A and B are shown apart, each in its own frame.
Chain A
Amino acid sequence: MEETVGTARPGKAAPDFKAEAYFKGGFTEVTLSDYKGQWVMVCFYPGDFTFV
């Protein structure tokens, strides 16, 4: 998977990342490139327990 330096832009490869995650009662690790072959929606938001 190629390295992308700089910010994500439509038409360009999505920058890969690995992160700790919470999923259905457990903790796990998620890597974006593991999902190649599927459509993925990466959804950022400001914070848990906030209002919108």
Chain B
Amino acid sequence: MQVLSVSTNSKFVHKMWEEVELSKMVGGDIPFPMLSDGNGRIGTKYGVYDEDAGIDIRGRFIVDPDGIVQAMEVLTPPVGRNFDELIRQIKAYQHVRATKGAEATPSGWQPGDTVLRPGPDLVGKVWKVWKPK
């Protein structure tokens, strides 16, 4: 999976931020490109550009290998993301794609948990194969 980070900062500020702070936080280089969205055009296409503040708010988009957005989560700046949920979603989408949609993941699914096989046989019978935690 390829990560692309985007903010309205210039590439120069990204370089400085990595050198001054991030590299100390993670103990090395940032392993993905840090993009510069100075005029907010990319953020605007993704519905996350705040024109008044001149920044992109905290949005993240999972894009599948066909270029289709599968999931998005957008938060206002003060609250950070939950990476566990993000990883869980990526694994779930990859599982669904690997089975070509034959299997779907129910609420709270973790790898190894029961999956659902949508079809006429399952209608009204989900309770037999899966229970909420």
Assuming A19-B42, A24-B29, A41-B90, is B69 touching A14 (CB within 8 A)?
A: yes
Query: Chain B, 37-71, contact with A by CB distance < 8 Å: what is the 0/1 string?
Result: 10001110111100001011111111111111111
Q: Which of B33, B56, B63 contacts A45 (CB 8 A)?
A: B56
B61 touching A11, Cβ below 8 Å: no
Q: Chain A contact residues: over half helix, strand or loop, or mixed? A: loop
Q: Which of A19, A38, A48 contacts B1 (CB 8 A)?
A: A38
Which A residue's beta carbon lies closest to that of B97? A39
Q: Which of A1-30 contact B (CB under 8 A)?
A: 1, 4, 6-17, 19-25, 27-28, 30
CB distance from B2 to the nearest CB of A (A): 5
Q: Is B99 an interface residue (CB 8 A)?
A: no
Q: Which of B6, B14, B21 contacts A43 (CB 8 A)?
A: B6
Determine the chain A residues whose CB is within 8 A of the CB of B102 once the complex forms: none
B35 touching A20, Cβ below 8 Å: yes
Which B residue's beta carbon lies closest to that of A10? B69
Count contacts on A: residues with CB < 8 A to the other chain. Answer: 43
B78 touching A52, Cβ below 8 Å: yes
CB distance from B100 to the nearest CB of A (A): 16
A39 to B80: give the CA distance in the assembly, Å: 22
A39 to B104: give the CA distance in the assembly, Å: 18
A27 to B58: give the CA distance in the assembly, Å: 24
Determine the chain A residues whose CB is within 8 A of the CB of B2 once the complex forms: 35, 38-41
Q: Which of A20, A24, A50 contacts B11 (CB 8 A)?
A: A20
Assuming A10-B72, A21-B34, is B65 touching A42 (CB within 8 A)?
A: no
A-B residue pairs, 10 tightest by C-beta: A7-B47, A48-B17, A15-B45, A22-B14, A44-B56, A21-B33, A19-B35, A23-B33, A39-B1, A40-B63
